Amino acid sequence: MIIPEKIYKLKLTSSEINVYQYLCSRADKNRECFPSQTTIARAVNMHRSTVNQAIKRLQDKQLLIITQRKRDNGGTSSNLYRIEVI
């Protein structure tokens, strides 16, 4: 998924841009992906708590929709991230 030029006008922090860019690079044709925050943190060379904060801010700015995934046994799994088009 190509990041639209408009993203840079939103005055995101560098951590928000890095996380958003990573999620865009992993998204499928439905603009969805489900990497763990640990996987994202390793890929973008950030602490997991920084990734967590960036994800929350991206959700607040309506750039991501986050859905908690469930296992067949009812347990929780990773988040499903849906990239919102701006």
- In the prediction, which pLDDT does 33 show? 96
Q: What is the dihedral of CA 41, 32, 68, 13, to 10 degrees?
A: 40
- In the prediction, which pLDDT does 4 show? 66
Which class does domain 5-83 fall in?
A: mainly alpha
Q: What is the pLDDT of residues 66-76, one digit of tens each?
A: 998 878 887 77
**Domain boundaries along the sequence of the chain:** 5-83
Q: Which residues pair with 81 in a beta bridge?
A: 33, 66
- In the prediction, which pLDDT does 8 show? 77
Total-model pTM: 0.86
Give the amino acid at 44.
V
**Quick count: other Cβ atoms within 10 Å of Cβ 16?**
20
Provide DSSP, 70-85: E-TTS-EEEEEEEEPP
The side-by-side arrangement of strands in the sheet containing 32-33 is 32-33, 76-83, 64-70
Q: What is the pLDDT of residues 23-56, one digit of tens each?
A: 999 999 999 999 999 999 999 999 999 999 999 9
